Amino acid sequence: MPSTQVSIARLRELGITPNRGLGQNFLIDDNVLGIIGRIAPLRRDDVVLEVGPGLGVLTRWLSERVALVHAVEIDRRLEPALDATLAGVDNVRLLFADAMKLDFAALEPRPSALVANLPYAVATPVVMNALPVCERFCVMVQREIADRLFARPGTKAYGAVSVLVQLSCRRLAVRPVSRRVFSPVPRVDSALVAFERSGDRAAGPGWPALSRTVHAAFAHRRKRLANAMALAGLPPPPEHLAGLRAEQLEPEQFLELV
């Protein structure tokens, strides 16, 4: 039986209706796993963090390729489906919790990679929270979010997330993904984005202050930096940057604001 039918059958059998409020679009076509296998910077000894395992299609695939998977799922209704998919698997730790309230750094063993089909509503904060913890990333996100991660200055997509990701990571690959690999079919396009940390900036002591400053600069993106920093109660920017807007700065120039 084709893999696309197995998960749909499991949904019907268990009476599970995807929760749109949680942004649930279940991965039902494991052809996507081949793409992840080609672009994800995974190592055999990796401890992977997966947020939103859904029916466990990606979870099981990961379990065969890495040392351990922390699978974090908010929807307890999915437990029977996950138990069925992960039967016989002993290197997955399934945690029913809200990933937005979870300290990723406190997971034992500490995750080294984030690989996930991220629920659209939490994709950006999950990536931001994982940056100081994980070293390698391969995430399925809404195409708009994928564009934002490595957007260039002066573009509509460029923002705080773009700056922080680019100051800490290098992009490895971006691949568009058909809507048809999900059930229900989402109304937006998706993409797989693979990247890895370059250096230890995101894991360093100065990261929280840098993150606050970057977010403050973009909180009033149409205002000049001098005004944006003043509104946030932060020190004024250097004179040569004061008259610029956040969207005009290269990522490296934000280091001068801290």
**Residues with Cβ within 8 Å of residue 37, at least 6 apart in sequence:** 65
Quickly state the pLDDT bin for 5 (edges 50, 70, 90): very low
Q: How confident is the model at residue 9 (pLDDT cuts 50, 70, 90)?
A: low
- Separation of CA 146 from chain center: 9
Q: Provide the pLDDT confidence category of residue 226 given band limits of 50, 70 and 90.
A: very high
List domains and CATH numbers for the chain.
3-200 (3.40.50.150), 207-257 (1.10.8)
For the chain, the C-alpha Rg in angstroms (whole number) is 19
Q: What pLDDT score does 4 carry?
A: 41
CB 143 within 8 A of CB 192: no
Q: How confident is the model at residue 45 (pLDDT cuts 50, 70, 90)?
A: very high
Task: Identify the weakest region by mean pLDDT among 14-23, 40-49, 183-192, 214-223.
Answer: 14-23
Q: Which residue did the predictor score with more confidence, 36 or 183?
A: 36
